[in-house]
Amino acid sequence: MREKILRALAQDGDDRLLLAGVLDKLETCRTRNYLTATRFLDMRERALVQQAVRMAGAAQECVFWGGYADAERTCAVFFPEYMTAGDVQDEENSPVALVRAQKHDADTLTHRDYLGALMGLQIKREMIGDILVSDAGAEILVLREMADFVQMNFAQAGRKRVSVSRVPLAELHIPEVHETEGEGSVASMRLDSLIALIFSLSRSDAQAFISKGLVFVNQQPCLKPGHDLDAGDRITVRGKGRARILSLGGTSRKGRQFVRYARSS
C-alpha cells in the first residue's frame, strides 16, 4: 500500500519525501500507540497529505492542526485509539506552540519582517506556522520543539527590537482581519472570472495563477479555471491575497451575475 500511495500521488522527489515521512508518522502512531505529527504543511502539501491519509485508511486517525481553527499552515497529527481529535489541541499534546513577539515602538513590522528574522536564525520554514501580525507585534506559531529556541534567540525583526515570550495556545490573540468589500458582475461564477474581478486581473492572468498552482478554494488547491463557486466560498491567490464570496445578487439584462465579495491582503 505504501508504494502504491507514493506512485499515485508523488509528482516529484519532494512530494515523495514528504509523503514517505507522513506514512512513517502514521506507522509509528499505529505500532507504538502514541501521538505523532509532521512538520508544518502549506495548503498544497496539506491537500496532498489528505489524499495519502485517505488512501491509507487513516482519515479517522488524523487531524490537521496549526494552533487555531482556521490556521493556513498546519501539521498532520496522528493520534492513537485512546485519544480523540480534540485531545490534539490540548496544550500538553499539541505539536504546535505559541510564541508572542511584542514591539517597543510605533514602527510597522510586516509578516515578511518577522519571517525573515526567524529564518535568519537558521530556522527552516517548515518549522514555522502562521504568523499573525497586529499593531502590538505578532503571534507566531512554531513546532513545539522550536519554541524555547525562538524565545531565547529571537530578539529583533526588521532591525527593530522585540520582546519574546512563550504563551499558552489558549491565550492566542487572532488579529481582526481588515477586509475591503466590493461588488461587480461576471459572465458566470467560474473561478477565473471571479479572480479577475476581485483582484483586478485580466482573465488570462487569472488563468496563469490557477495553472501555476497558486490558487486555493476553501483551502484546497484548484487547477480548474472553470470551477464554479458559490456564496460562502473562500479564495486564496498566493501573492495577491484572500477573498470571500459574500452573496449573489440578481442578473443583469445581459445575463451577468452580480456578486458581493470581501477581499483582504
What is the CATH number for 218? 3.10.290.10
- Is 150 in the same domain as 165? yes
Domain limit, last residue, from 109, 141, 171: 171
Any residues with CB less than 8 A from the CB of 72 and at least 6 apart, and which?
42, 43, 66, 130, 219, 236
What is the CATH number for 110? 3.30.70.330
Side chain identity, residue 242? R
26-48 tens-digit pLDDT? 999 999 999 999 999 999 999 99
52-94 tens-digit pLDDT? 999 999 999 999 999 999 899 999 999 999 999 999 999 999 9
In this prediction the pTM is 0.85
By CB atoms closer than 10 A (0-12, 13-18, 19+), residue 228 is exposed
Distance separating alpha carbons of residues 191 and 9, to the nearest angstrom:
25
Q: What's the structural domain count of the chain?
A: 3
Domain limit, last residue, from 23, 57, 89: 89
The boundaries of the domain holding residue 201 are 180-264
Domain limit, last residue, from 171, 195, 214: 171
- Is 136 in the same domain as 162? yes
Look at residue 265 and tell me whether its pLDDT is greater than 80.
no
231-244 tens-digit pLDDT? 999 999 998 999 99
What is the CATH number for 59? 3.30.1370.160
- Is 37 in the same domain as 73? yes
Distance separating alpha carbons of residues 106 and 228, to the nearest angstrom:
44
User: What are the grid coordinates assigned to 8, written together?
Assistant: 499515485
- Is 61 in the same domain as 111? no
- Is 69 in the same domain as 133? no
Predicted pLDDT of residue 178 = 85
- Is 40 in the same domain as 110? no
- Is 225 in the same domain as 257? yes
- Is 7 in the same domain as 83? yes
